[in-house]
Amino acid sequence: MTLEDRAKALGEKYASYGKAADVAKILDAYAFAAEAHKDQYRQSGEPYVTHALAVAEIVADMSLDADSISAALLHDTVEDTSVTNADIVNRFGKPVAEIVDGLTKLERIPYSSKEEQEVENLRKMLLAMSKDIRVILVKLADRLHNIRTLDAKSDVKRREIALETMDVYSPIAHRLGITRIKQELEDRSLRYLDPIGYDEIVSALESTSEFREGLINRIKSTIAEGLAPLGIKNLCIEGRVKQIYSIYRKMFMQNKTIDEVYDLYAIRVIVDTKEECYNALGMIHDMYKPMPRRFKDYISTPKPNMYQSLHTTLIGREGIPFEVQIRTWEMHHIAEYGVAAHWKYKEGNDLGVNYEQKLGWIRSMLETQQDSDAEDFISNFKTDMFADEVYVFTPKGDVINLPAGATTIDFAYAIHSGVGNRMVGAKVNNRIVSIDTVLSNGDIVEVLTSKVSRGPGRDWLKIVKTSEARTKIKQWYKKEKREENIVQGREMLDAELKKNGMLLSEAEKCEAMLTACKKLSFNNIDDMLAGIGYGGITVQRAAVRIRDEFAKTAKPEQTSGDEPVETVPVIRRSESGVIVEGSDSCLVKFARCCTPVPGDRIRGFVTRGYGVSVHRAECTNITGMKGDLSDRFVEVCWADITEGAFSASIEITARDRVTLIADITALLANMHIPIHGIQTKKVGGGEIVLQMDISVNDLSHLEMVCGRVHGVRGVTDVSRSGVRRGEAEGGAEKK
């Protein structure tokens, strides 16, 4: 089929459920996109417009409107060709142009890092999504076709795109209830992230395909026969095997074999009404034995993404467990396409007040995270989008949904910020519990408050799970504890600047300090210190910005007469990153035994033929030196500007599992951390120790890397590696 034939088929598909008059607009959009991309090709060698056409076909499968399909055809024209947004407005109208603009990346705006640019692109897309949900629906279609055609990319690019899909787009599809796209994104991403685990599951399923088909058909026949007396007119019974990624999560994250995945087989029963759902459930429970605590009623308590179904796990006559889902036809359409299902019944954006309320979480998330830096935004985004949720109740019976692991503090702030700020205790199921108690499905929670409460504790920031609670606690400290925040922020910033050889008391006298504050969106130094104190900005980010601004004004301004001369802290530079007793030209080597990085306390040792070997101050290879050797120590310090990356060794203790190293290396690759060597050692008890040699920018960067690695499933400890005896003399080059 030619591209023109595919475009005509696209128009015919839309005409079958939309207005035939709009088909001309879709065909015009295809012609416009084909002309704009005429000299562009994909890495597979296909004309680039094939991608735009494929995305439009996916959008049409979701039964979206003509503007959405047109925007899908045009989604890359502004970003990748000479077409402007004004051109789109003039030819296709403002709604189409706004969708395309929401999908266009902010490539031309300079950012301090790739991570910051990626976060701002995500913010822009979410903001556009909060105004018009069609933006993200087209983007999901775009990502789905990209993940379907990843084989043309390099291995590194495949993993990078697959990781981003898992971190960002799959959770969004889940939150919007678009199950069909979510599952395909996850399965295809898994194929590139863990090909061994993926192939293991596929092979296991293929080896039992004949048995599975027979089992599913027998169950379907039994259920159909049992439900016959109910006289359900539009009854549909489907059978399937559980999604590959869902099996993977249970096998590798819960350490189960494929035989221990209880809902490996699933039967779906679709009927006309809610009453028929519950009647069918009763009949099916009479046919098979239900497994205890495996029943979920998402009809009476829908998921936030509008998903509704009855779920029950049963034991078959062969002794094999299987899951049954029971829903109405309307629930089924929503389960497959989530918010996109509304376009089957509504026109344009007129989707009603309830629909707008369903999307309120997007605006709320953007509002609570508008001042977050790149790392915090991504971390909070993943928490807000996380698939696992718990449903708890207020004493009046109202349902509150929270992410798995949420505490009573999260519950209090989900009710209202005033309730959280006055919280002094909590009751769960009518029993007094500690405020850090983790909640479970079905808990009835009552928050105990007091008008004389002193407000939230700073340690609450380490307890809460939701970004909403964390943001509201920070806002309280920002408003109520300004002086305390300034004092704490001053102490933190002073300590951080001293690591770079700067004094806060001196820096405050200079104009560059105020410039740094302005670039961090603070009006003055006190505002910045308060922000550090209440957690609105990390002290590392503030220190880096201050250091950069002083680097730009390294030379003091010359004045005449009796005018005072501004004192600017001297910016000390050195090619190696280390200054030896005031000299910046001495030969310097970094000791392999302790791998110092900027931010560490360091000592210098004069070697024979290798210049000065720089060690961490606590390195045991130098702390025990006596006699003549002790005379060979020299004073060293870090230069104010340290460029490039420095070698560091970390030691990771974790529970051994098949994909452990793959998960850790994938995380480090996503953070752009070079890996220079890996050594492993089993220590018994099912644990393994990994010694990894990596490159980082400084101590705060290393601590951030260790923190992220600690979050990998199964990792119990991450620390700087101990001293390696006998490697003190030679040292190691900076990477």
Q: What are the angstrom distances between the C-alpha of 3 and each of 34, 46, 517?
A: 9, 11, 55
Three state DSSP letters for 522-568: CCCHHHHHHHHHHCCCCHHHHHHHHHHHHHHCCCCCCCCCCCCCCCC
Residue 603, φ and ψ in degrees, nearest 5: -135, 150
- Exposed, middle or buried, 683 (CB in 10 Å: 0-12/13-18/19+)? exposed
- The structure tokens 């969106």 sit at 521
Three state DSSP letters for 224-292: HHHHHHHCCCCCEEEEEECCHHHHHHHHHHCCCCHHHCCCCEEEEEEECCHHHHHHHHHHHHHHCEEEE
**Residues forming the active site:** 79-80
**Contacting residues for 661 by C-beta, under 8 A, at least 6 apart:** 678, 680, 690
Helix, strand, coil abundance in the chain, percent, nearest 5: 50, 15, 30
Amino acid at 3: L
**Contacting residues for 362 by C-beta, under 8 A, at least 6 apart:** 126, 129, 130
Q: How many CB atoms lie within 10 A of CB 452?
A: 6
Q: How many CB atoms lie within 10 A of CB 561?
A: 4
Longest pairwise C-alpha distance within the chain: 105
Tokens of 641: 């500007």
Please state, in angstroms and rounded to a whole number, the distance separating the CA atoms of residues 539 and 700: 10
Please state, in angstroms and rounded to a whole number, the distance separating the CA atoms of residues 495 and 601: 12
Measured on CA atoms in the order 92, 97, 103, 106, is the torsion positive or negative? Answer: positive
- The structure tokens 């380490």 sit at 462
Q: Write out the DSSP string of 722-734.
A: PP-TT-TTT-B--
DSSP assignment letter at 23: H
Four-point Cα dihedral 690, 696, 700, 702, nearest 10: 0
